A and B are shown apart, each in its own frame.
Chain A
Amino acid sequence: MTAALELLRAHYRDRLMAAKAVRASGASRVVGLTGTTAPAELALACGLFPVRISPPDDIATPTAALYLDSVIDRDVQVLFECAMRGDFEFLDLLVLTRGEDKLFYFLKEMVRLGRAPVVPPMHMFDLMGSQRAAVQQYNLQNLNWLIAALERLAGVQITDEQLRASAQLTNRCRELQRKLLALRWEGRVQGVEAMEVIGAGFCMHPVRYTQALERYLQELGPASAPKPAPRLLVASSEPLSQLHLHRRLEEAGGLVVAEDDAWGSRAPGDDIANGGDPKQALLQKYWHDTAHAGVSPREARQAWFLHQIQRCDLDAVIFYVPPGDHQFGWDYPRLAAQTTAAGKPSLLLRQDAADASTVSGPVREFLAALPASRQRACP
């Protein structure tokens, strides 16, 4: 393992490491961002350290079990538990997005009842996923409220120049990540490793992340030969903030070349436009070019996936719909039919990938049954 990969992997595994170090050193204040629609660029522009807040793997949730209903997503339960036990106490502000509205409501109530002294101040950034003009003004208002909250925290006003500079910084991250995604399709990077490398970007300062990612890509070099394995695309009902699924698929002999998920292939998207009003450019980016379940209409949500399944260098699709799904299942039959129509076999996994004993068998069987001729059939 190279030094760059080691560094990226360390930040992926201990996702709050950099943020805590910054906070402890007093170098800057720290803002936690849940979900995928809160722009880290705003925090950077006023000298704050942004860090993505994600549910850690495999923790007990006794407090969540007391207050939260079983119908509420597991990720929300885990984040609630973390917040209540003080994991986020070091944050100066916790920005929640509409995908975590229930987390916001429950934590707010705990605060009201005086049962959550360790929960940091919260801000709801309610960027709607509807891709229509009716919500534009509301989304812009929400962006302005977030700016005001961050400026209040930092004690400075965000200028257009600062905003452009921070967008430039994160655009460089995106550019490098897109190079990594291309290498994945060439079969030169394992899916597990790619997820770690991409995910580290949510936990590190972009300057340090860019340096590490550049080094990592250089060290990959031309020497890394394509891996001869069935190339898989993953569509998941829940954010892939952990590696279980990729591990199971690759332990069984597959190679995950892409995933329709903001923790993986959908992380970079396009650049933030560098001309015109930087605030508008930021809004356009996070409103129109972010992958999450709340995007509507369906065509906007699924366009990327439908494009990928047409690729000749893709062998099969894995639909991951573990227990607890309340939405993706309505889309699944249609997506599965479209995958079949594109000539790609698919596997529906309804088990939790954390449980290797139930997942590995079906995955191995599926991969073994893939037609050999399809592999490397690209002209």
Chain B
Amino acid sequence: MSLTESQRAASRARHEALTQLQVSRTLRTYQKAWFEKLRQEVFEQGRPYAIGGALVPHEIWEALDLPFITDVWYSGLVAARRQSGYYSDFLSRQGYHEDLSRYGALTLAVMLDEQNADKPWGGLPKPSLICTNIADRGAQIMADYSAATLVPMEMPVLRHPHPEWWEMSRWQWEDLDESPRIDVMVAQLRDLVAASERVAGKKLDLDRLREILARVNRQEEYFDQIRAIIATADKLPARLGEVMSQVMGIQWHRGTEWALNQARAFHDEIKHRADHQMWVCPNEQYRLMYVGQGLWQNLDFFTDFEQRYGAVFVRSNYLSIAADGYLRYPVRDPLRALASRYVTMSEQMHIPGLGGAWAKWEARRHRIDGGLSIDRWWGARLINLALEEQGIPILNLSVDPVDGNTWDEAALKQQVSQFIEQRLAPARKQR
């Protein structure tokens, strides 16, 4: 599915009408200006830039003043523009079959598709450097196409999982992440630093990197506080779609002064709304959590159940992992702290035992009545079982987070409606 310009305008208008946070507007304005500047610098001034996966240490590029974008962030833009179906089909036509993940690959599709000029924010210039997880084979194709240097990161297996990992991750990370695993990540980070220095034309300043890590910590502390406000306020003060967009918009720029200021503004606005009882849905009846990759192709989907059922989505992985997955104290050895941050990044949400324990803790904290999950996510089944065993009903949706070809709005709405009526309502009565 690819929208016409008038459909896109209508979608934008609807989205604008649903927008409640001032920071959503400032984020959009900033992103657009930042991307425009990036394109100008890269296209007109020939400045090199990097593309990274979501789970690689952008902080190094920030410290080297090397511009970068994140593949899943740009994929999210494609999906939000309702062009994911088109680009997914494009990849299929190139011979990349439909079972291959499109989550980050829409960025690759946009780059390879030289015929279609209708691309988010004018399309992507060719990068000079690419860094992704080693399992991301699409990155090699992008590197071939761009003649870019590819630095893949290989994550070591977690030998001793600690179910309550979030209690250790901030200060006790050397034990949590296991020293040999951190060591091998540091060694790979050194490879990335060397490649990045060549592209950036300057040496990495470790003091600067330390400052950036400290700034990221301060930013994530704001997210931690925002999560606490949302979890403990009488009712939901901000819509999930806006919260998710805001969190990820800031995360892609983590380590910059702008990101820190935006996180502070985000916190202040959420606090203000909670203090003044500015609720998303004054008739709030059901509090739902969302487990899994973001439904980036239609974040407004979460708002559709407010009026009819008083159902609000209060929690996603995105804000919570920002608080629990990123914070690392102290940052005395910045490469080591960075290695710890990324050595299990995202995996702790999937790994059996870890994902379930975290989801249960989050559910209790957020006073959750039920949850939505998407099944194209490894580890989801055990998480869902853990939640169900705790008395929290879960609805599993079979939909890709970004691929519009898997989206059937009417069917999905019906599924969620039935879930609320048949599972949440009786459970609520029982309580």
Whether chain B is bound by chain A comes out as yes
A330 adjacent to B157 (CB under 8 Å): no
Chain A residues contacting B152 (CB-CB under 8 Å) are 130, 296-297
B182-190, B213-221, B361-369 - interface stretch: B182-190
Contact pick for B378, options A71, A128, A132, A334, CB 8 Å? A71
Within 8 A of A (CB), among B342-392: 351-353, 375-382, 385
B94 adjacent to A128 (CB under 8 Å): no
Q: B134 at interface (Cβ–Cβ under 8 A)?
A: yes
Q: B46 at interface (Cβ–Cβ under 8 A)?
A: no
Q: A109 at interface (Cβ–Cβ under 8 A)?
A: yes
B8-16, B136-144, B401-409 - interface stretch: B136-144
A134 adjacent to B99 (CB under 8 Å): no
B99 adjacent to A329 (CB under 8 Å): yes
Q: A138 at interface (Cβ–Cβ under 8 A)?
A: yes
Chain B residue nearest in CB terms to A106:
B352
Q: B19 at interface (Cβ–Cβ under 8 A)?
A: no
Q: B34 at interface (Cβ–Cβ under 8 A)?
A: no
Given the complex of chains A and B, what is the CA–CA distance between A329 and B138 in angstroms?
10
Within 8 A of B (CB), among A327-362: 327, 329-334, 336, 350
B137 adjacent to A72 (CB under 8 Å): no
B381 adjacent to A67 (CB under 8 Å): yes
B375 adjacent to A321 (CB under 8 Å): no
Within 8 A of B (CB), among A13-55: none
B184 adjacent to A67 (CB under 8 Å): no
Chain A residues contacting B352 (CB-CB under 8 Å) are 67, 105-106, 108-110
A96-104, A201-209, A225-233, A249-257 - interface stretch: A96-104
B353 adjacent to A112 (CB under 8 Å): yes
Query: Given A108-B353, A327-B137, A330-B141, are A138 and B156 also a contact pair (CB < 8 Å)?
Result: yes
B353 adjacent to A132 (CB under 8 Å): no
Chain A residues contacting B207 (CB-CB under 8 Å) are none
Q: B95 at interface (Cβ–Cβ under 8 A)?
A: yes
Chain A residues contacting B181 (CB-CB under 8 Å) are 138
Contact pick for B183, options A130, A133, A137, A336, CB 8 Å? A137
Chain B residues contacting A67 (CB-CB under 8 Å) are 352, 381-382, 385
Q: A156 at interface (Cβ–Cβ under 8 A)?
A: no
A-facing mask of B122-148, CB < 8 A → 1, else 0?
000000000000110110110010000
Given the complex of chains A and B, what is the CA–CA distance between A323 and B352 in angstroms?
24
Chain B residues contacting A104 (CB-CB under 8 Å) are 157
Query: Given A69-B375, A329-B96, A329-B97, are A128 and B137 also a contact pair (CB < 8 Å)?
Result: no
A298 adjacent to B381 (CB under 8 Å): no
Given the complex of chains A and B, what is the CA–CA distance between A130 and B377 in angstroms?
25
A126 adjacent to B187 (CB under 8 Å): no
A330 adjacent to B380 (CB under 8 Å): no
Instruction: Report B24 CB to chain A, min CB distance, Å.
Output: 32
Given the complex of chains A and B, what is the CA–CA distance between A330 and B101 in angstroms?
10
Contact pick for A126, options B141, B157, B161, CB 8 Å? B157
Chain B residue nearest in CB terms to A109:
B352
Q: B191 at interface (Cβ–Cβ under 8 A)?
A: yes
Q: B159 at interface (Cβ–Cβ under 8 A)?
A: yes
Given the complex of chains A and B, what is the CA–CA distance between A75 and B429 in angstroms?
43
Within 8 A of B (CB), among A266-282: none
Query: Given A67-B385, A71-B377, A333-B94, are A130 and B154 also a contact pair (CB < 8 Å)?
Result: yes
Chain B residues contacting A327 (CB-CB under 8 Å) are 100, 135, 137
Contact pick for A137, options B95, B140, B184, B379, CB 8 Å? B184
Query: Given A134-B191, A141-B180, are A326 and B100 also a contact pair (CB < 8 Å)?
Result: yes
Chain A residues contacting B135 (CB-CB under 8 Å) are 327
A323 adjacent to B94 (CB under 8 Å): no
Chain A residues contacting B94 (CB-CB under 8 Å) are 333
Chain B residues contacting A350 (CB-CB under 8 Å) are 97
Given the complex of chains A and B, what is the CA–CA distance between A133 and B188 in angstroms?
9
B96 adjacent to A330 (CB under 8 Å): yes
Given the complex of chains A and B, what is the CA–CA distance between A296 and B188 in angstroms?
13
Instruction: Report A252 CB to chain B, min CB distance, Å.
Output: 23
Q: A129 at interface (Cβ–Cβ under 8 A)?
A: yes
Q: A220 at interface (Cβ–Cβ under 8 A)?
A: no
A69 adjacent to B184 (CB under 8 Å): no
Instruction: Report B199 CB to chain A, min CB distance, Å.
Output: 18
A126 adjacent to B156 (CB under 8 Å): yes
Query: Given A296-B152, A324-B99, are A124 and B159 also a contact pair (CB < 8 Å)?
Result: yes
Instruction: Report A105 CB to chain B, min CB distance, Å.
Output: 5
Q: A135 at interface (Cβ–Cβ under 8 A)?
A: yes
Q: A158 at interface (Cβ–Cβ under 8 A)?
A: no
Chain A residue nearest in CB terms to B385:
A67
A323 adjacent to B99 (CB under 8 Å): yes
A326 adjacent to B99 (CB under 8 Å): yes
Given the complex of chains A and B, what is the CA–CA distance between A331 and B159 in angstroms?
30
Given the complex of chains A and B, what is the CA–CA distance between A126 and B180 in angstroms?
11
Query: Given A296-B154, A325-B99, are A331 and B137 also a contact pair (CB < 8 Å)?
Result: yes
Chain B residue nearest in CB terms to A139:
B184
Query: Given A130-B154, A134-B188, A296-B154, are A330 and B385 also a contact pair (CB < 8 Å)?
Result: no
Contact pick for B180, options A70, A130, A138, CB 8 Å? A138
Query: Given A98-B157, A104-B157, A130-B154, are A330 and B187 also a contact pair (CB < 8 Å)?
Result: no
Chain B residues contacting A69 (CB-CB under 8 Å) are 375, 377-381
Q: A68 at interface (Cβ–Cβ under 8 A)?
A: yes
B157 adjacent to A108 (CB under 8 Å): no
B154 adjacent to A105 (CB under 8 Å): no
Chain A CB within 10 Å, residue with most, of B96, B158, B181, B378: B378
Chain B residues contacting A129 (CB-CB under 8 Å) are 134, 154
Contact pick for A109, options B137, B138, B183, B353, CB 8 Å? B353
Chain B residue nearest in CB terms to A141:
B180
Chain B residue nearest in CB terms to A330:
B137
Chain B residue nearest in CB terms to A333:
B95
Given the complex of chains A and B, what is the CA–CA distance between A321 and B140 in angstroms?
19
Chain A residues contacting B375 (CB-CB under 8 Å) are 69-71
Given the complex of chains A and B, what is the CA–CA distance between A134 and B134 in angstroms?
14
What are 8 residue pairs bridging A and B, where the CB atoms are less than 8 Å apart in the complex?
A: A66-B385, A69-B380, A109-B353, A128-B156, A138-B156, A296-B154, A325-B100, A333-B95
| Other contacts beyond A98-B157, A109-B353: 15, CB < 8 A | A67-B381, A69-B381, A110-B352, A112-B353, A126-B157, A126-B159, A128-B156, A129-B134, A132-B191, A135-B187, A138-B181, A321-B97, A325-B100, A326-B99, A333-B95
